[in-house]
Amino acid sequence: MKKYILSLVLILTITLSSAQYITGDIYIDDTGKSRFYIDTDINPNIDDLNFEDNRLTGTTEMFSSKSQGIWTFEIDLETYETILVDIHLPKNLQIITSIEGVENFFDIESKVVSLIDNDNDLEFEVSYTLSQEQDFSLLYFAAIVIILILAILLFTKRKIKNSKIQHILPIINDNEKRIVELLMKKPMRQKEIRKILDIPKASYSRYLIHLEKKKLILRQGEGKNKMVRLK
């Protein structure tokens, strides 16, 4: 580490007094785009990048390529007396498969390759893989489709049931219709139905029996707590 710090100090000192220098940062994202924030006294004439007042800025994809899941960043520029460039690899970097070119060192924690050299061509190449981020878009789409299908089936089932009930209603008496219409909203306890509709107890039992025989309702449970629902 001391060696690198001394090298940095030396190169910074040289940079202030020499020509043909290149310093700064290059940020690579997980799609292969590279953002340049570079100071240099030589215009490298790179498409998509802007050179003004010895400042090279902009974003380009021309230095990155991908083959069989492996990304490669390759840069080949002029000869510089001083090279001091930090290349920031993507945050989801998994592993570096190869690295070659000018003198460099890699900071694992920050995922930065520092190029430190002098009197040399700026030739550098690094190949790497990225960790796969889970894409839930297909899963979300499938979930939405399933929900829609279930909603359609439920609506269709309810529509068929209501159609069946409407077909049966003409053959049952008025109080039986009232019971069925109440149960169309939700299942209820047997005693709650009689209380809401205010039907005499003796005739109410007869209505329930008739509806059961017509297979319109289903009673579950024992005693007064029997639940009544449409069949």
Structural domain harbouring 180: 137-230
Q: Does 94 lie in the same domain as 9?
A: yes
What was the pLDDT predicted at 230? 86
Q: Does 39 lie in the same domain as 149?
A: no
In the predicted structure, residue 218 carries a pLDDT above the cut 90: no
Q: Does 98 lie in the same domain as 19?
A: yes
Of 102, 130, 158, the one marking the end of a domain is 130
Do residues 94 and 70 touch, judged by C-beta distance below 8 A?
Answer: no
pTM for this one?
0.53
The H-assigned helical ranges of 79-220 are 137-168, 174-183, 190-197, 201-213
Q: Does 170 lie in the same domain as 114?
A: no
Average pLDDT for residues 200-218, to the nearest whole number?
Answer: 86
Q: How far apart are CA 113 and CA 34, in angstroms?
A: 14
CATH code where residue 201 lies:
1.10.10.10
Count helices and strands in the chain by DSSP H and E runs: 5, 14
Number of domains in the chain: 2
Q: Order across the sheet with 21-28: list the strands.
A: 49-52, 55-60, 34-40, 21-28, 82-88, 112-117, 104-107
Digit-coded pLDDT (tens) for 123-157: 999 999 998 755 567 788 888 989 999 988 887 77
Digit-coded pLDDT (tens) for 43-100: 999 989 999 999 999 999 999 999 999 999 999 998 999 999 999 999 999 999 999 9
Question: Helices 174-183 and 201-213 sit at what angle, rounded to 10 degrees?
Answer: 70
Q: Does 146 lie in the same domain as 221?
A: yes
Of 81, 109, 130, the one marking the end of a domain is 130
Per-residue b/e over 214-227, b at no fewer than 16 CB within 10 Å?
eebbeeeeeeeeee
Q: Which of 87, 91, 92, 94 is nearest to 126 (CA)?
A: 87
What was the pLDDT predicted at 9? 52
Higher pLDDT, 199 or 39: 39
Q: Does 120 lie in the same domain as 176?
A: no
Residue type, position 101, single letter: G
Q: Does 155 lie in the same domain as 172?
A: yes
Of 130, 153, 170, the one marking the end of a domain is 130
Element (H, E) at 221: none
Q: Does 185 lie in the same domain as 119?
A: no
Q: Does 86 lie in the same domain as 194?
A: no
Digit-coded pLDDT (tens) for 96-120: 999 999 999 999 999 999 999 999 9
The burial of 21, by beta-carbon neighbours within 10 Å (0-12 exposed, 13-18 middle, 19 or more buried), is given as buried
Q: Does 125 lie in the same domain as 31?
A: yes
Q: Does 142 lie in the same domain as 47?
A: no
Q: Does 72 lie in the same domain as 46?
A: yes
